[in-house]
Amino acid sequence: MNREGSAALLLDCPRSYGAFCAGVVETLVVEGKLDFQVFYGISDSALSAGFLAQAQREEDPTRSVSALAIYSDRLGRLWR
């Protein structure tokens, strides 16, 4: 994968803020239509980053954002 020009998401939320962080990610993806290609997480957030990285990447940005939106919703449910 060519990462040049890709949007990256860096997560650094303590465990007690996992649900808040998941909500922020969901808002960025669903409302902002941001198609992140690269995910990084620090400490507990590395688990969230790994979870989000499983979303199916598509050539069509709309489909890619839709797949990422599903995973961001699931992430929010995991943290609640």
DSSP string covering 5-37, please?
Answer: T-EEEEE---GGGHHHHHHHHHHHHHTT---EE
| Band of pLDDT at residue 6, cut at 50, 70 and 90 | confident
| Band of pLDDT at residue 35, cut at 50, 70 and 90 | very high
Q: Residue range 36-49: average pLDDT?
A: 92
| pLDDT at residue 65, rounded to an integer | 94
Q: Which of 23-27, 37-41, 75-79 has the lowest mean pLDDT?
A: 75-79
pLDDT (tens digit, 9 = 90+) per residue, 56-79?
Answer: 988 898 999 999 999 999 999 988
Q: Residue range 42-56: average pLDDT?
A: 92
| pLDDT at residue 2, rounded to an integer | 54
How many contiguous H segments (helices) and E segments (strands) does the chain have?
Answer: 3, 2
